[in-house]
Structure 1
Amino acid sequence: MQPLCPAYILHSRPFQDDKLLLQLLMPEQGRVSAIIRKRQGKQRFALQPFQLFTVALTGRSSLKTIRTLDELAPASRFSGKFLFSALYLNELICRLWPDDMAAEQLFNHYQQSLAGLNLAQQQPTQLEPCLREFEFALLGELGLPVDWQHDAAGMALTADLQYYWQAEQGFVVWPGGWSGAALLAIGQQNWQHADSLLVAKQLSRLLLKPLLGDKPLQSRALFTTAL
């Protein structure tokens, strides 16, 4: 009997006449492509994103088959920019996380971010911190962590100096760049600092760009079309 494992559905699309192709996020298996038959009658229920399931997978190839899938918790309900933000998290994982690479910590970060987006629907000022924290957590899990304490030369960041990011090196002193105070605040997740959110957004986009390439993010376009 196949073991049951927790999973989130990141993306789904029709596959053949009676199946769906799902992208799953699972702690031990990571991002997994799997096929499931469409459910009919009393067995039918919506395969919601942002909902925790348990699944049993079979198959030896990279494309798995879902033998059982059960709801483990209610789906998080998002709307407007909070929905677009949740879709953004899913798209980042689908685009950047390698196939079949274990994702225990990423799975935890993702769960925490969904909870953060739920909170942000009641406290909208929490939206951007939630997104930035996930982006930097994802970069760290991909082997690209940001050292918020030291520059590229190993010297401690200084609040009174200004810095810019040098690819494959880290922060370098750069007059007219980001304030050291803002960088130190981001490292402490101190989003009350006046410049921390703006600097965090600029830096995360700079770091994500070479990973994402030239293909635009569909979820990011939703923000533009909704304005």
Structure 2
Amino acid sequence: MIAAENLTKKFGRKEVLKNINFTIQKGETVGVVGPNGAGKSTLLRIIATIMNATTGTVAVDGLDVKKEKKAIRQKIGYVPQEIAVYHELTTRENLRFFGKLAKHSSEERWMKRCEEWRLAEHLDKKVKHLSGGNQRKLNILIAMLHDPDILILDEPTVGIDISAKQEIVNDLREFGREGKTILYSSHDAQELETLCTSFLILKEGELLFYGSKQKVRQFGSIAQSKNFAETLGEIVG
């Protein structure tokens, strides 16, 4: 589904990603984990076709992210850390606007999502009047308008309260149960434990580990951690 081979990214002389190799299978929910500066956002942007690698390749369903961006963008939804919506428009106006830009989007489908994600009652409110949690939900739903096979989320719950985080994670678990592939970056160990089935661990641009949740505790010097959340907490710093 998503394969990286000898992937490297440099900004000037600084090497942000160093010879990364992995293969993510269809239907996995992968936690992209590591301390600040590990290269997580850079990796996600390359997979999302927003940024080009310096050397190496990434393929999505066999399509090269450098050469076949248009085809890949039809398969993915990308959620950046920033709220990428129009705050002076209503929730409904944002969904209709971005829906027109997205191929294969239908009002019936996003209305159903709004009901499932408890946004239906806020459709006619301006985004600037929504809670932080509902703004984050809208940010995610816009990335899902074209019903992508892959959802890439870069710290999508940053800056919101615990209950809103839990709602979003639970909703994303349902999305994963539909057979979608999810790449999820977060510093919240509890979120990662609840949502993810496997983990990709980066540190200073190097891939230290990629494998199932069951194997994470066996990773390196943190094998003696008392519980799973503690294990991830040590990893994300």
Q: Calculate the TM-score normalised by the size of structure 2.
A: 0.29
Greater relative CO (CA pairs within 8 A, separation 6+): 2
